[in-house]
Structure 1
Amino acid sequence: MTTLFDSHRLGDLTLPNRVVMAPMTRVRAAPGGLATPSMAAYYAQRATAGLLVSEGVQPSLIGQSNPGTPGLHTDEQAASWRPVTAAVHANGGRIFAQLMHGGRVSHPDTNGLQPVGPSAVAAAGEVFTPTGPQPAPVPRALETAEVPEHARSYAEAARRALDAGFDGVELHGANGYLISQFLSSNANLRTDRYGGSIANRVRFAVEAAEATVEAVGADRTGIRLSPGAAFWGVEDREVPALYGELLRELARLGLAYVHLEATAEEEVLIGLRRAWPGTLIMNPTLPQGPKQTGRAEAGHWLGLGAELISFGRAFIANPDLVERLRTGLPLAPADEATYFQGGDAGYLTYPAYQYTA
């Protein structure tokens, strides 16, 4: 029987275990979207995971969703990531960069630009800005001729990511951001080749993946999806058909993996597991929900056919999470007040388990 602690081959990488650190926004970047020495220490502390996936990294300035997040759209940003990836590799780890275009989930106060999206429909709720939460603005609907440029932005960032030492990239196709908006039935009201039918609504995601595969290779490209989720007001209709079609299109590209969130009923997720012929990373508990993933949830999904299991919040306060899971040690609680406050407190200050005589 497969366990969390068995190795797994992912492209040309051999993962020593099946524990993945899920991408988590921590807003610790320096001005200009630069990675920092503290970020290098943070990821290096967690390098015993089979695979680390970075926080969301904007592939373009207009793609920046939150203040304080890092980028991969300038040479300076790429250079700032090299000490991060070097620190992870020095500690024996492997790391993919998550490429996240916020689309309509942004604000002019954050990046000086009006957000864009598939249609002129605002996200639900308030977005983060440098001066605090503000109502989500109405985005500018992209012209048909502009859409491929935004799909290619993932590929251009992917090239910079590999130049910066990342082992690969994960396209953020989940949680109500740009790819998810194009998949949506209420954020995407287009009548051109990118809207309406299921085949048209998956087109942007497929073009972004195709461009990225062409840029860096299929074995270095993954994608994260949240079927049926309602983050930022995004709705998905016909979830099995929509995501089944998307997975069929992605399968022909031979991506390194698909990373699913538990945002749909288990029966639907099992159907998508069957539809996807490659490596599946499963995040078994609802993101931001009341429950964290533990060994029981991980074992359940390994039994259902997932190859890798991603853990989010548990990694914040437990940099040695793999060892704690392996030996049954208790998990330390995280201080939610420090998730997004900046600084090293609640970022670098959680120790490995302290054994007592």
Structure 2
Amino acid sequence: MPSLFDPIQVGAIQAKNRIFMAPLTRGRSTREHVPTPLMAEYYGQRASAGVIISEATGISREGLGWPYAPGLWSQEQVEAWKPVTAAVHEKGGKIIAQIWHMGRMVHSSVTGTQPVSCSPTFAPEALHTYDGKQPPEQARELTKTDIARILNDYENAARNALAAGFDGVQIHAANGYLVDEFLRDGTNHRTDEYGGSPENRIRFLREVTERVVETIGADRTSVRLSPNGDTQGCIDSHPEQVFVPAAKMLNDFDIAFLELREPGPNGTFGKTDQPKLHGPIREVFKKPLVLNQDYTREEAIETVSSGVADAIAFGRPFISNPDLVRRLKENQAVAKDDMKTWYSQGAEGYTDYPFLND
């Protein structure tokens, strides 16, 4: 079996190792959601990852409620992303854009419009805004006309991603955002063809995937799911009944890879004791499978070498270790990150973490 440090082909991308950089929201764009030059330095520093999955990037102003997060709906944003992707490529790296609609997890003071979701529900917690956290607002239920418009937004973002120099995209279908809200019966209360049965709840993910595949090709398309437990108030009564068929559907599209975020009872975020589904999903998804959530070096090596997964996505360790791949390969100490600077603006806690040689 291959090792964590061996190359892997994921669709059109030849990754030089199986240590992927998970998407990490960092809040270094402008207030108008335009990437900044500092982001080129940050991502370029981490180009040794097999594949960098960018921070979640909005497909529309309606769907992007995180302050200072980047978007991919305008030409200005496309142009500002080009130095970022170029910085990664110049150092021999690969980078894909995670495209994102936050659904009900936005506040109108950031987006300028009422949040939307599959059903008229509330986010379970206060939401980030430019003026601190604010109480959630009731989401407006999406009409079929709205859904058609949002599918166009996904298509536009995918096309823009390639124009900006990304090697592909990842559809963010996890963590309690819009696609995940459609998938789970705890948030999807619809009675039309987008609600009710697992097959119907998968429909929106299928239509998004189809649109992206038609736009940029299956070999440049990937998806992230979070198939276990409560995530930002998004939960399903029988997750295996919806997520295993969803994985089978994605396999039939022949996408490049599937990433699963699987928190456990001691996970950093979204703790759950629900059984993990990567085993049943592995049986139906035959393309490369990437697992994410609090893996140690030893666990990651064992998970790949045993064939449980094809690659591991590391999140927080990449914040404070731009040379994480080298540290893991040489079994060097991994530096701790500073939570106070996760979402702050500026270089502190962003581009100033040292490399081993420093």
Q: Is TM > 0.5 for Structure 1 vs Structure 2?
A: yes
Unaligned 5+ segments in structure 1 are 286-291
User: Using the alignment, how far apart are the partners of 1:112 and 1:87 within structure 2?
Assistant: 33
Matches within 5 A, 1:25-36: 25-36=25-36
CA displacement at 1:206 relative to structure 2: 0.6
Aligned to 1:65: 65
User: Using the alignment, how far apart are the partners of 2:350 and 2:301 within structure 1?
Assistant: 28
User: Using the alignment, how far apart are the partners of 1:214 and 1:100 within structure 2?
Assistant: 18
Aligned to 1:289: none
Matches within 5 A, 1:216-255: 216-255=216-255
Which deviations, in whole Å up to 9, do the C-alpha atoms of 1:103-132 show, x marking residues without a partner?
Answer: 100001112111110011001011101100
Report whether the alignment pairs 1:305 with 2:308. Answer: yes
Aligned to 1:315: 318
User: Using the alignment, how far apart are the partners of 1:354 and 1:167 within structure 2?
Assistant: 29
CA displacement at 1:148 relative to structure 2: 2.3
Which deviations, in whole Å up to 9, do the C-alpha atoms of 1:19-71 show, x marking residues without a partner?
Answer: 10000100110132111110000000000000000000000110102111000
- Pick aligned residue for 1:272 from 276, 281, 291: 281
User: Using the alignment, how far apart are the partners of 2:156 and 2:168 within structure 1?
Assistant: 13
User: Using the alignment, how far apart are the partners of 2:213 and 2:83 within structure 1?
Assistant: 25
CA displacement at 1:301 relative to structure 2: 2.1
1:12 to 1:269, Cα distance in 2 relative to 1, 3 A:
closer
User: Using the alignment, how far apart are the partners of 1:123 and 1:339 within structure 2?
Assistant: 22
Matches within 5 A, 1:157-196: 157-196=157-196
Aligned to 1:121: 121
CA displacement at 1:267 relative to structure 2: 5.2
Moved more, 156-165 or 263-272: 263-272
Report whether the alignment pairs 1:339 with 2:342. Answer: yes
Aligned to 2:268: none
Matches within 5 A, 1:144-155: 144-155=144-155
Give the secondary structure class of the aligned counterpart of 1:231. coil
Which deviations, in whole Å up to 9, do the C-alpha atoms of 1:155-183 show, x marking residues without a partner?
Answer: 21000000000000000000000000000
Aligned to 1:96: 96
Q: Is the 8 A contact 1:110 1:130 kept in 2?
A: yes
Give the secondary structure class of the aligned counterpart of 2:298. helix
- Pick aligned residue for 2:333 from 318, 330, 334: 330
Which deviations, in whole Å up to 9, do the C-alpha atoms of 1:198-242 show, x marking residues without a partner?
Answer: 111000011000000000000000000000231220112211110
CA displacement at 1:266 relative to structure 2: 5.3
Aligned to 2:270: none
User: Using the alignment, how far apart are the partners of 1:51 and 1:268 within structure 2?
Assistant: 23
**RMSD, aligned CA:** 1.2
Unaligned 5+ segments in structure 2 are 265-273
User: Using the alignment, how far apart are the partners of 1:128 and 1:34 within structure 2?
Assistant: 18
Q: Is the 8 A contact 2:228 2:262 kept in 1?
A: no
Aligned to 2:260: 260
User: Using the alignment, how far apart are the partners of 1:319 and 1:206 within structure 2?
Assistant: 35
User: Using the alignment, how far apart are the partners of 1:103 and 1:159 within structure 2?
Assistant: 21
Percent of aligned pairs with the same residue?
Answer: 41
User: Using the alignment, how far apart are the partners of 1:268 and 1:59 within structure 2?
Assistant: 29
TM-score, normalized by length of structure 2? 0.95
Moved more, 346-355 or 297-306: 297-306
Moved more, 322-331 or 245-254: 245-254
- Runs of 4 or more consecutive aligned structure 1 residues displaced over 6 Å after TM superposition: none
TM-score, normalized by length of structure 1? 0.95
User: Using the alignment, how far apart are the partners of 2:303 and 2:152 within structure 1?
Assistant: 33
